[in-house]
Amino acid sequence: MLLVAKPILGEEEKAALAAVIEDGWITMGERVRAFERAFADMHDARDAVAVSSCTAGLHLVLAALGLGPGDEVLVPSMTFVATAASVLHVGATPVFVDIERLDLPLMSLSDAAAKCTGRTRAAILVHYAGYLPDRERWRAFAQARGVTLIEDAAHAAGLPGVGTIGDAAVFSFYGNKNMTTAEGGMIVARDDAMRGDAMLERVRMLRAHGMTSGARQRLTGHASGYDVTMLGYNYRMDEFRAAIGLVQLARLPEWNARRQALTERYRRVLESDCPDLALPFPQPRPSANHILPVLLPATVDRQGIMDDLRAEGIQTSVHYAPVHRFTFYRQRFPEVTLPLTEEFARRALSLPLHPDMDDDDVDRVARALARALAKQRETMPP
């Protein structure tokens, strides 16, 4: 089966894990700190904080900013559910915003402006599929309204420019991401952000129960005890994940370049073999090319296409079902309608994209998709 996503793990990761076992220190320690510094360096940030997941990172940033009941946070619905859930975790209210266009499935600036109120404290920009939104327009939007921007950069690790739009950016290392630690995440903050280093320091304490020192610091004599100065969480990263992360991070630029090349080939062959498809993001913009979404014709049975491709050994997926249409959110926000998001979600299909693929794999997917579309056209009434 040609998978939609595939982690690349090998001997280097095995050796890194074995080294942690041999050292005997497996909780948050020197490797976590080394991973944080290396990740910050790659993203031109002064520092970074490693956490147990991107979801935990979003929660911590919102908590560090002091958001809570009575506050509103603008979020897209074309995202994984964690984006909205993190807002609810701090007691604030997610306000769902439509996408710009069917070919630009990023949060709409005009709809965000229309939904701003006196209670709007923040907006979470999701870099869907690894594509960056317009930095200058969103910074102007935030400055004019006193809104804090947070980047949900789960799809965008290693992309130049990521982390420079919002006051903080949060990354994911889940198993299907451009680099993985199985589970895990990272937080960076803009150097000129109002809270800057202070935000990261607060996040660092919040991830570990609000304690003023960690076990490693006490073992090495850098601290003799600890105080608890805030209500915190257990969102720490362990040494095993950090060890894998250091290996993966070193290869991330190479893998992202391969994703870019595969995406460019997909665009060429799909335009030729499947001309009735629409490809989002037709205009060049920075991307880590995390997923490869296409937009099927409005009359096509998507499940039928997915079944035909699976029969040929090709996995496909859907990114994403709209968050506001899930039962939990529909019951709490029954009045929300997002026409463009709903139409995009109805027609979107994610094709295989990962660095272990070659050009022949791309051609194989395109040919199979063309056959599946042709089969449906033949059965459609005139």
d(CA 85, CA 242): 26
d(CA 211, CA 14): 32
User: Helices 196-206 and 54-64, interaxial angle, to 10°?
Assistant: 120
CA 257 to chain centroid? 18
H helix count then E strand count, the chain: 13, 11
Exactly one of 6, 14, 115, 177 is catalytic; name it.
177
d(CA 196, CA 194): 6
Helix (H, G, I), strand (E, B) or coil at 50: strand
Task: Indicate if 115 belongs to the active site.
Answer: no
| 381 CB-near residues (< 8 Å, 6+ apart) | none
Q: Sign of torsion, CA 368 373 379 382?
A: negative
d(CA 172, CA 199): 19
For β-strands 99-101 and 104-107, DSSP reports them as antiparallel
18 by Cβ neighbours in 10 Å (0-12 / 13-18 / 19+) ranks as exposed
Cis peptide upstream of residue 131 (ω within 30 degrees of 0): no
d(CA 351, CA 362): 9
Residues catalogued as catalytic: 177
